[in-house]
Amino acid sequence: MDTWNILEYVAWALSAMFGVLMLIDLIRIDTTYDNELLISSREGEIEATAERHEI
């Protein structure tokens, strides 16, 4: 068992950690907030406020 073997286990552990962090947060957000709010983003909203394409 050398450094590279240890690194392999570290990599497995870190991958699992990042994966779990994301999943937990996803579940937490999905259960805390209303889905209608979460999917309320609309394309082009900026256009209406910031940039008008008029000459």
Partner 1 sequence: MANVTSTAGEPERLQLLRVLGPAHIWALGVGIVLVGEYMGWNFSVGKGGMIAGLVACWVAGLLYTCVAMIDSEVTSTVAAAGGQYAQAKHIVGPLMAFNVGLFLVMAYTMLEAANAITVGFLLDTVAGMQGHSGLNQQPFIILAIMFLAWLNYRGVLATLTFNLVITAVAFLAIITLFVSVQFGASNVPLDFSAVTTDPLPYGWVGIVAALHFGLWYYLGIEGTCQAAEEVRSPARSLPYGTMAGIMTLLIAATMTWYVCSGLVPWEYLGQAGTPLFDAARVTGSTGLMILLFVGTTFATLASANGCINDASRAWFSMGRDRYLPSWFGAVHPVYRTPYRAIVFLVPIALIFALGAPLDQVVTFSILSGLLGYTFMTFNMVMFRNKWPLDTIKRGYVHPFHPLPTIVLLILCSTAYFAVFLGYGTQLSAMMCFYIVASLWFHFRRYQFVRRGDQFTMPWPKPVGY
- Judged by the rule CB under 8 A, the positions of this chain that interact with partner 1 are 2-4, 8-9, 11-12, 14-15, 18-19, 21-23, 25-26, 29, 33, 35-49, 51-55
**In the complex, minimum distance from the CB of residue 34 to partner 1, in angstroms, rounded to a whole number:** 10
**In the complex, minimum distance from the CB of residue 53 to partner 1, in angstroms, rounded to a whole number:** 4
**In the complex, minimum distance from the CB of residue 41 to partner 1, in angstroms, rounded to a whole number:** 5
Termini Cα distance of the chain: 70
What single-letter amino acid sits at 20? V
Q: How many helices (H) and strands (E) does the chain have?
A: 3, 0
- The structure tokens 């909203």 sit at 45
